């Protein structure tokens, strides 16, 4: 589906952008792939891995806060993957205006421009922190989901479809607790700071994240939120996976942090379908021009269903996490899109 297509990734120099770019060039022959981001040094570094002499790639310097720049970037684009965002939970608690400008107003700029430029599909990357948010980052991501979903109502008879994917911590991404603990280990520090020993998190690898986005592009009718079925893990098991000689010290919950995360809350269960490998949350208001019959042929989740990290039926053990760490080259994808645990 990506052959002879023009694809743009906002925030494309992050771990998702690196991995998705490699996925595209390894499996398809796109007309062009555009990396849209505001950091010229990261673009310079990424261009060493994907040189323009070998790949149909374009590095487009810009910020999603700048609507005029987006208009130039989205000209003749078929698919947009919206990965750009400010993500560090503690930093955004103390810099809320900046979070709103990028995560909310930047998303509005993107949806309006995508409609104007007749982009075929826009897929926005969300997070479990958008569900019942207790921090500003989660609140901005929840708002982003609302903006993207509602953009389908503005599309009318135009071709543009908007949808979201929502998942948990990404193995190997910048800012994840896994990368942080590994960096401490590399410095010879084996006493890891833990906010609360009860803490659990959802985990997804980059391959699964890529597959979910590709599925969303192919299947979406507009307005859906795609949620993968992924495992949970306890914070102390993560420590044991990194080193059997490690210990920990309790530092207390940080501003905006949860003990457990939720991917689907109870109110969303009324509009949620089980598609074997993932869930699809339907929009709460209908779009008459969209065909959702495909999802209605599948099983609906029970009313009151909650998908939460501490009550999940699928858990990663220590050995499984060791394999994930071994199979993920964190150094290659350290400039990623994940937020702190």
DSSP string, 35-60: EEES-HHHHHHHHHHS-TTTS-EEEE
Tokens of 334: 């350290």
Look at the pTM and tell me if it is higher than 0.75. Answer: yes
Least confident residue range of 78-82, 125-129, 181-185: 181-185
At 297, the pLDDT band (50, 70, 90 cuts) reads confident
Domains annotated for the chain, with CATH where assigned, are 6-168+205-228+263-308 (3.40.50.720)
Mean of pLDDT values over 110-139: 96
* Contact between 57 and 6 (Cβ < 8 Å): no
Q: Would the pLDDT of 328 be above 70?
A: no
Distance of CA 233 to the CA centre of its chain: 19
| Tens-place pLDDT, residues 151-164 | 998 877 778 999 99
Dihedral over alpha carbons 173, 174, 175, 180 (to 10 degrees)? 90
Active-site residue identified among 129, 229, 234, 308: 129
At 332, the pLDDT band (50, 70, 90 cuts) reads very low
Mean of pLDDT values over 259-283: 95
Mean of pLDDT values over 238-257: 86
Asked about 129 being catalytic, the answer comes back as: yes
| Tens-place pLDDT, residues 129-187 | 999 999 999 999 999 999 999 999 887 777 899 999 999 988 867 667 788 888 888 89
Mean of pLDDT values over 291-298: 82
At 329, the pLDDT band (50, 70, 90 cuts) reads low
Percentage of the chain surpassing pLDDT 70? 93
Looking at every residue in the chain, the average pLDDT score rounds to: 90
Sheet holding 169-170, edge to edge: 169-170, 200-204, 232-234
Q: Would the pLDDT of 219 be above 80?
A: yes
Least confident residue range of 59-68, 192-201, 319-328: 319-328
């Amino acid at each position: 589906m990506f052959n002879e297509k023009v694809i743009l990734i906002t925030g494309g120099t992050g771990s998702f952008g690196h991995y998705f770019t490699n996925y595209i060039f390894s499996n398809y022959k796109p007309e062009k792939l555009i990396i849209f981001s505001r950091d010229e040094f990261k673009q310079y570094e990424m261009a060493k891995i994907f040189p323009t002499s070998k790949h149909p790639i374009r590095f487009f310097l810009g910020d999603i806060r700048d609507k005029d720049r987006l208009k130039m970037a989205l000209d003749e684009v078929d698919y947009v993957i919206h990965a750009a965002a400010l993500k560090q939970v503690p930093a955004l608690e103390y810099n809320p205006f900046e979070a709103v400008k990028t995560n909310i107003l930047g998303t509005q700029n993107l949806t309006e421009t995508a409609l104007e430029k007749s982009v075929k599909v826009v897929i926005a990357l969300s997070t479990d922190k958008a569900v019942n948010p207790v921090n500003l980052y989660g609140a901005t991501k929840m708002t982003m989901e609302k903006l993207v979903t509602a953009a389908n109502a503005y599309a009318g008879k135009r071709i543009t479809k908007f949808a979201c994917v929502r998942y948990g911590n990404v193995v190997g991404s910048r800012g994840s607790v896994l990368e942080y603990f590994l960096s401490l280990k590399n410095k010879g520090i084996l006493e890891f700071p833990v906010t609360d020993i009860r803490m659990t998190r959802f985990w997804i690898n980059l391959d699964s994240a890529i597959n979910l986005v590709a599925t969303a592009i192919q299947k979406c009718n507009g307005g859906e939120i795609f949620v993968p079925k992924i495992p949970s893990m306890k914070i102390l098991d993560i420590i044991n996976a990194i080193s059997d000689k490690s210990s920990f010290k309790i530092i207390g919950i940080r501003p905006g942090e949860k003990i457990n995360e939720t991917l689907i809350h109870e109110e969303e269960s009324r509009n949620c379908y089980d598609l074997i490998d993932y869930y699809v949350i339907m929009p709460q208001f209908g779009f008459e021009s969209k065909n959702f019959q495909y999802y209605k042929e599948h099983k609906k989740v029970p009313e009151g269903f909650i998908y939460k990290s501490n009550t999940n039926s699928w858990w990663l053990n220590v050995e499984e996490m060791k394999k994930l760490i071994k199979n993920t080259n964190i150094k290659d994808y350290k400039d990623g899109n994940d937020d702190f645990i």
